[in-house]
Amino acid sequence: GAQALLSRGSDPFYQCEENKPLLGEMSEGNNNTKLGAGPCKRSLHHCGGGGGGMRYKLLHEGDIQVCVVKHPRTFLSKLLTSKFLRRWEPHHLTLTDNSLTSATPTGYMETSLSYSSIEDLQLLSWDNAPKYCVQLSFPGGTVLLQAANSYLRDQWFHSLQWKKKIYKYRKVLNNPSRWDVVLKEIRALVDMALTSPLQDESIHQAPLHIISTLLAENSNLSTQDHENIIVAIAPLLENNHPPPDLCEFFCKHCRERPRSMVVIEVFTPVVQRILKHNMDFGKCPRLRLFTQEYILALNELNAGMEVVKKFVHSMHGPTGQCPHPRVLPNLVAVCLAAIYSCYEEFINSRDNSPSLKEIRNGCQQQNDRKPPMPLRLLRPDPSLPQPTPPTPSIPISSPTPCLPLSPPPSVVNSSEILVELERNNSANTRQKEGPSGGDSEPNLIDCLLVSPAVNTLSIQLPAQADRVLGCFALILKMLSDYDDWRPALASLLQPIPFPKEELKYVIQRFAEDPRQEVTNCMCMPVHVHSCLLSVRSGKDGWFQLYSPGGVACDDDGELFASMVHILMGSCYKTKKFLLSLAENKLGPCMLLALRGNQTMVEILCLMLEYNIIDNKDTQLQIISTLESTQVGLRMYEQLCDRQRELKALQRKGGPTRLTLPSKSTDADLARLLSSGSFGNLENLSLAFTNVTSACAEQLIKLPSLKQLNLWSTQFGDAGLRLLSEHLACLQVLNLCETPVTDAGLLALSSMKSLCSLNMNSTKLTADTYEDLKAKLPNLKDVDVRYTEAW
């Protein structure tokens, strides 16, 4: 057949290949010629991946037919068009980082084919047979790979091309000579990754790893080179997290040049993506460190915290609900890690885990790191003279020296903290005793949850650490100002171990949240009491920490009183909550009531009214406390009046059945019950009236009530919760066509005497119905028609 002269310079495919320079190919011309046969032709293939062309998965291995033809270049076309073409061998090929290898190294693929030996890579299509081939030219021959169809052929072609190019870039950028040329190659590498038709995570990650290795091995670059490289790789970071080494490079830039425009223009979208999409900072702690350094760099700008505030607002979004559920947990994790790092110089972790400083410098091996020093806080008696520390210069993290038998402990005293270093003998004894001993070693919370009013047990931070602490504590304050973030923030902040003023503002926001029931970022209902009380038994929550006498209380109990007020208004188990206060916080409540706090006066009155206190002496103490203030005396007199009315109401006598006329209201019911004795009332019908949950306060005064009909009223969940606490003897309850929901119906599980329950046409769900059946053994007559459980 006729032969044609094909030039690389005139071939569109090669034009696309050669427009991305490599250091090793800069001097290569475009006038190389190849002889091509008429029947065998190259298919024109556009390699730009940014358009709407075909997309391919990067191949790492696969089955394909292989044929190797050894020939001089001048006879290529004749051999390829020969009728007696060499035989094909099936091989399972693997595309490693350096070469093309076969799982069965025999025949044509007896030895691996290095990417460096591949001179040319072409797509071939045959006119006289349905064969789809990729041609790999090497010195002295050609390797033909035959796929089953054109798609697989193109997939092999692009994967081989990518592996070959990445191999060359990795080799060329390993030993750079001229940085101006290196910058061009980096831009070409980034452009190649962005335009590749391959779709795979490694397509963008491989260039980032190459560049991060280059930066790690050349730490003496100028600042301008740093910024040029960051700008060059910015397009790759729009949809990819930076690898760990690159994060360290970014951290260094943030620390050294916080006012650089690169921080705002390049790092901002990278950090935004990390906060929106990161699932676990534990897998890559350098991502968290980079985010911390970026925020600190923003704080170094002229506007300071105003810039940080705008950044936090941009992460939340302009609407009332943040569309990204991962932003809040990630921001809190960043803040907590930064705050903890401020105290690392003072507090040794008992689990011997690497510190953030060690993570930055490359985590040391376990056997190379110094063992933690046992610590014990000194809590001296204020009435006794304070001991003068003999060795004030010993750092807390210094190793224990070898001393003779039972030496006295050394005391480290900064101007704000007293810490005792246990010596070998006492430390070993302490470890054997375990954490249950009276002098057990303090954890981070023990060391840092210190009242600012107690100067002997607070920590003085260096100026830099104090700035870091102030920045991230203010971010927590900003987070608490968003209504949709506040419930989840409360649960995430439970382990916070320090009482800064900014943190107190956050807790105040939790306590003063006007919503009785809110929804967190996971679309689950969250009650306010879950934000303030402890999340686990035996662990103190904000409510315990800020109570009078608690380690964080520095305001004479004002915040504690605010918490009690909101909890009494939101927590439906009022009686249970009062019992817990009487058992654990009765002293603080009486102290605040003695100071005239109205909320605490109301609490003490409720304890007396609901017979929470059994001990007569304690009752007399509460009465004396109430009579000591004007507001307390007034409320106690009102309580006595209500008790007299209650006794008159519960006096034996009156009807056993009572039905109120339709359109009756809560006030009508209260007026009726105050008109005489209803101690014998067992059956009350309020069907088709206008009563609401407010009438529950009157219903719980009826001691003999066994049947209650609330059909077609506006009686809701709040009323059910109150009934469930006080009417344990109720047997029949009709809630047909009332606005009750699962939140109120679940409270009925404590009414073990219920045998008939009508929930027709309510918002009952199947799960709640199954739960009620399991917890109410006497329940025999149930109506759930026109509900989800029907």
Q: What percent of the chain has pLDDT over 70?
A: 70
The pLDDT tens digits of the residues spanning 134-152 come to: 989 888 788 889 998 889 9
The pLDDT tens digits of the residues spanning 606-628 come to: 999 888 888 899 999 999 999 99
Lowest mean pLDDT among 260-274, 486-500, 711-725: 486-500
**Amino acid (one-letter) located at 216:** A
Categorize the per-residue pLDDT at 534 as very low, low, confident or very high, splitting at 50, 70 and 90: low
For residue 763, pLDDT beyond 90: yes
pTM: 0.60
The whole-number pLDDT of residue 284 equals: 85
Residue (of 473, 542, 462) closest to 510 by Cα position: 542
Query: SS3 for 432?
Result: helix
The whole-number pLDDT of residue 227 equals: 84
The pLDDT tens digits of the residues spanning 539-553 come to: 777 777 778 877 777
Q: Greater confidence, 275 or 378?
A: 275
Categorize the per-residue pLDDT at 502 as very low, low, confident or very high, splitting at 50, 70 and 90: low
Categorize the per-residue pLDDT at 728 as very low, low, confident or very high, splitting at 50, 70 and 90: confident
Q: Greater confidence, 40 or 766?
A: 766
For residue 350, pLDDT beyond 70: no
Residue (of 179, 259, 256) closest to 225 by Cα position: 179
Per-domain boundaries in the chain: 56-161, 177-308+321-348, 580-648, 651-783
For residue 172, pLDDT beyond 90: no
Q: From CA 471, how far away is CA 332, in angstroms rounded? A: 13
The whole-number pLDDT of residue 141 equals: 82
Structure tokens at 382: 């204020």
Task: State the average pLDDT over residues 61-82.
Answer: 71
Topology, domain 56-161? PH-domain like (2.30.29)
Residue (of 558, 571, 557, 479) closest to 528 by Cα position: 571
The whole-number pLDDT of residue 461 equals: 62
* Domain covering 651-783 assigned CATH 3.80.10.10 in the classification: yes
Q: Are 54 and 151 in contact (CB under 8 A)?
A: yes
Q: What are phi and psi of 613, to 5 degrees?
A: -95, 120
Q: Are 382 and 402 in contact (CB under 8 A)?
A: no
Q: Greater confidence, 196 or 448?
A: 196
Average pLDDT, the chain: 75
Query: SS3 for 122?
Result: strand
Q: From CA 782, how far away is CA 760, in angstroms rounded? A: 9
Provide the β-strand partners of residue 89.
Answer: 66
Task: State the average pLDDT over residues 773-789.
Answer: 91
For residue 447, pLDDT beyond 80: no
**Rounded alpha-carbon distances, angstroms, from residue 576 to 147, 610, 613:** 74, 11, 13
The whole-number pLDDT of residue 40 equals: 40
Task: State the average pLDDT over residues 268-278.
Answer: 92
**Rounded alpha-carbon distances, angstroms, from residue 98 to 94, 118, 171, 427:** 11, 11, 10, 55
For residue 372, pLDDT beyond 90: no
For residue 22, pLDDT beyond 60: no
The whole-number pLDDT of residue 504 equals: 73
Q: From CA 403, how far away is CA 426, in angstroms rounded? A: 12
The pLDDT tens digits of the residues spanning 573-585 come to: 678 888 888 888 8
Q: Are 693 and 719 in contact (CB under 8 A)?
A: yes
Q: Kindly report the length of the chain.
A: 790
